[in-house]
C-alpha cells in the first residue's frame, strides 16, 4: 500500500525536466507540497557559498533536431534526457558532421539514451540519443534548435522540519536535480517525502530536518546559510537509489563510528543481505556534510550504489526499474534506523549485586529471546554501556533490547543514566 503511494509519487514527478536550477526543480518541490508543508528557498544567482557561486538559472521550453523533411529525429518532448542539461540556446542549420561532436550515445547499450549535464560551463550544448537513432541518421543538413535560457534567477531548494521533544536534529537529505531518472533522485525523493509524512504526527525525541536539494551546490548553499546551526545535527542520512531490486548498501560517515553508522549497520545486519562501505570523498551530499570543516555524522543509505547498475544515468533508469515493494522496504528500513536513534539510552541496573530474582516479579514467564535480552540489559547496564552497545554485543535486535529495558524499568530494576543521556 505505502509502496504504491511512493511509486505513484515517482510516476508523477518523472516527466519533469529537473536540473541544478529552474522551473522543473521548482515544480517538483511544489508537487511535494501536496504531501508535506515544504518551505521553498530561492537563492539568487551570484550568491556566494564558500568557494562556489550560484550560477544562472537554466530553463528549457523545447529542443529538436529536424531532418530536411521537417520531421523531428530528436525530440525533447519525447524524453527530456535528449538535451544535455544546462545546454546554451542554439538554432541553426548544420551538417551531420558538424552536429556529431554535440551528440552523445551509449554504443554498448544501443537502446538507451544517456543522461549528460554541463553545469557551470555556459558555452556547452548537446543532445543525447540512442545509438540506434544515431545510426539511422543519414548525412545531410539538419535544423538544430535548443530553446533554452540561461539568465539571472535563483537556485531553489526545499526544507521541512518535523519538530521533536529536543532541538537536536536528524538530517535527511536527498538530491532533486536529475530529469527523468527514477532510481537516481526520484526514489530518494519519494522515500524522504513518505518518511516526513509518517513522522509528522508522531511524538518524537529528535527533530527531523528534511532537505530536498539540487546536487553538490544545494548542500553547499544550505551549509553556508546554516553554518551557525549545524551543531544541532546529531545524526544524518543521505538517501539515494532506493527503488531498485538490489540489496542495501550503507556508506559510513567520515567519522566511521558515529551512532548513525552503528544504528544503520545494526539494522541492516538484522534485516539480511547487505553491504557496509567505509567513507570515501565521492558520491552525493555526504561529500559536503562530511567535508573536514563540518565532519557531520551523516551516512548514506542506498540499494545498489550509483554507478554500479547498468541503468545508472540512462533512460533505462525508468518507472519499471523501481518497484513499489523496494520503495516500501527502503522506507521501513529508514524507520527502523530512526527507531534505534529514538530508543538509544544508557541505563543503570538498580539491583546490580548478583542477578535480581525475575521470577517473583513475573518477568520470567517469557523463556527465550526476551529473557536473554533482559539478562544482557541487566548485566551490561552499569552506566557505561548504551542499549545499542548491548544489542551489538548480545546479537539481539535493538528492538528486543529496547523492549527488555522498558519491562525492567517498569519494575524498578533499571534507571536511565541521565548524565550520559545515552547519546
Least distance in angstroms from the C-beta of 317 to Zn ion: 9
Q: Which stretch binds Zn ion (CB under 5 A): 90-98, 182-190, 223-231, 368-376?
A: 182-190
Least distance in angstroms from the C-beta of 19 to Zn ion: 12
127 forms beta bridges with: 83, 103
Least distance in angstroms from the C-beta of 184 to Zn ion: 4
- Return the number of the residue (182 or 328) whose C-beta is nearest Zn ion: 182
- Return the number of the residue (188 or 343) whose C-beta is nearest Zn ion: 188
Least distance in angstroms from the C-beta of 271 to Zn ion: 26
Least distance in angstroms from the C-beta of 81 to Zn ion: 12
Q: Which stretch binds Zn ion (CB under 5 A): 89-97, 178-186, 343-351, 375-383?
A: 178-186
- Return the number of the residue (184 or 244) whose C-beta is nearest Zn ion: 184
Q: Which stretch binds Zn ion (CB under 5 A): 26-34, 57-65, 181-189, 203-211?
A: 181-189
- Return the number of the residue (57 or 184) whose C-beta is nearest Zn ion: 184
Q: Is 184 in the site for Zn ion (CB under 5 A)?
A: yes
Least distance in angstroms from the C-beta of 61 to Zn ion: 24
**Positive/negative CA dihedral, 275, 116, 45, 9:** negative
280-315 CB burial, b ≥16 within 10 A, e <16: eeebbbbbbbbbeebebbbbbbbbbbbeebebbbbb
Q: Is 317 in the site for Zn ion (CB under 5 A)?
A: no
Contacts of 8 (CB under 8 A, 6+ apart): none
Least distance in angstroms from the C-beta of 313 to Zn ion: 6
Least distance in angstroms from the C-beta of 417 to Zn ion: 44
Other CB atoms within a 10 A radius of the CB of residue 422 amount to 16
- Between strands 382-386 and 346-349, the pairing is antiparallel
> Three cell numbers at 232?
544541532
- Return the number of the residue (116 or 269) whose C-beta is nearest Zn ion: 116
- Return the number of the residue (99 or 301) whose C-beta is nearest Zn ion: 301
- Return the number of the residue (189 or 259) whose C-beta is nearest Zn ion: 189
- Return the number of the residue (15 or 44) whose C-beta is nearest Zn ion: 15
Q: Which stretch binds Zn ion (CB under 5 A): 31-39, 117-125, 177-185, 220-228?
A: 177-185
Q: How many chain residues are in contact with Zn ion, going by CB under 5 A?
A: 1
Least distance in angstroms from the C-beta of 178 to Zn ion: 5
- Residue that has been written with the C-alpha cell 519538530 in this structure: 163
- Return the number of the residue (269 or 306) whose C-beta is nearest Zn ion: 306
Q: Which stretch binds Zn ion (CB under 5 A): 69-77, 160-168, 179-187, 280-288?
A: 179-187
- Residues 78-107 binding Zn ion (CB under 5 A) are none
Q: Which stretch binds Zn ion (CB under 5 A): 180-188, 200-208, 341-349, 400-408?
A: 180-188
Q: Which residue is nearest to Zn ion (CB)?
A: 184
Q: Is 286 in the site for Zn ion (CB under 5 A)?
A: no
Residues of the shown chain interacting with Zn ion in the complex, contacts defined by CB under 5 A:
184
Amino acid at each position: 500500500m505505502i509502496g504504491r503511494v511512493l511509486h505513484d509519487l515517482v510516476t508523477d514527478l518523472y516527466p519533469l525536466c529537473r536540473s541544478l536550477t529552474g522551473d522543473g526543480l521548482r515544480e517538483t518541490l511544489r508537487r511535494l507540497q501536496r504531501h508535506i508543508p515544504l518551505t521553498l528557498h530561492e537563492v539568487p544567482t551570484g550568491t556566494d557559498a564558500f568557494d562556489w557561486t550560484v550560477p544562472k538559472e537554466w530553463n528549457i521550453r523545447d529542443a529538436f533536431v529536424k531532418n530536411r523533411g521537417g520531421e523531428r529525429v530528436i525530440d525533447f518532448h519525447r524524453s527530456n534526457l535528449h538535451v544535455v542539461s544546462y545546454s546554451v540556446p542554439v538554432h541553426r542549420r548544420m551538417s551531420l558532421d558538424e552536429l556529431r561532436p554535440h551528440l552523445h550515445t551509449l554504443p554498448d547499450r544501443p537502446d538507451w539514451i544517456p543522461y549528460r549535464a554541463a553545469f557551470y560551463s555556459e558555452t556547452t550544448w548537446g543532445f543525447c540519443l540512442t545509438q540506434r537513432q544515431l545510426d539511422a541518421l543519414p548525412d545531410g543538413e539538419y535544423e538544430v534548435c535548443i530553446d533554452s535560457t540561461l539568465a539571472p534567477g535563483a537556485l531553489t531548494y526545499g526544507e521541512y522540519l518535523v519538530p521533536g521533544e529536543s532541538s537536536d536534529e536528524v538530517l535527511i537529505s536527498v538530491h532533486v536535480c536529475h530529469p527523468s531518472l527514477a532510481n537516481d533522485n526520484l526514489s530518494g525523493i519519494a522515500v524522504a517525502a513518505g518518511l516526513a509524512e509518517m513522522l509528522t504526527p508522531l511524538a518524537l525525541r529528535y527533530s527531523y530536518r528534511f532537505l530536498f536539494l539540487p546536487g553538490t551546490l544545494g548542500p553547499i548553499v544550505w551549509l553556508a546559510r546554516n553554518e551557525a546551526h549545524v551543531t544541532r545535527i546529531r545524526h544524518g542520512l543521505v538517501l539515494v537509489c532506493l527503488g531498485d531490486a538490489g540489496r542495501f548498501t550503507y556508506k559510513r560517515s567520515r567519522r566511521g563510528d558515529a551512532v548513525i553508522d552503528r544504528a544503520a549497520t545494526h539494522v541492516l545486519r538484522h534485516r539480511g543481505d547487505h553491504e557496509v562501505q567505509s567513507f570515501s570523498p565521492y558520491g552525493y551530499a555526504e561529500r559536503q556534510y562530511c567535508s573536514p570543516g563540518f565532519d557531520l555524522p551523516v551516512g548514506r543509505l542506498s540499494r545498489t550504489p550509483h554507478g554500479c547498475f547498468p541503468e545508472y544515468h540512462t533512460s533505462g533508469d525508468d518507472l519499471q526499474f523501481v518497484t513499489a515493494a523496494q520503495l516500501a522496504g527502503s522506507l521501513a528500513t529508514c524507520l527502523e534506523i530512526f527507531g534505534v536513534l529514538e530508543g538509544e539510552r544508557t541505563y543503570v541496573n538498580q539491583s546490580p549485586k548478583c542477578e535480581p530474582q525475575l521470577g517473583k516479579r513475573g518477568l520470567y514467564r517469557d523463556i527465550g529471546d526476551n529473557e536473554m535480552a533482559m539478562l544482557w540489559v541487566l548485566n551490561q547496564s552499569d552506566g557505561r554501556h548504551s542499549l545499542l552497545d548491548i544489542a551489538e554485543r548480545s546479537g539481539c535486535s535493538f528492538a528486543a533490547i529496547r523492549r527488555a529495558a522498558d519491562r525492567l524499568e517498569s519494575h524498578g530494576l533499571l534507571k536511565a543514566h541521565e548524565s550520559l543521556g545515552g547519546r
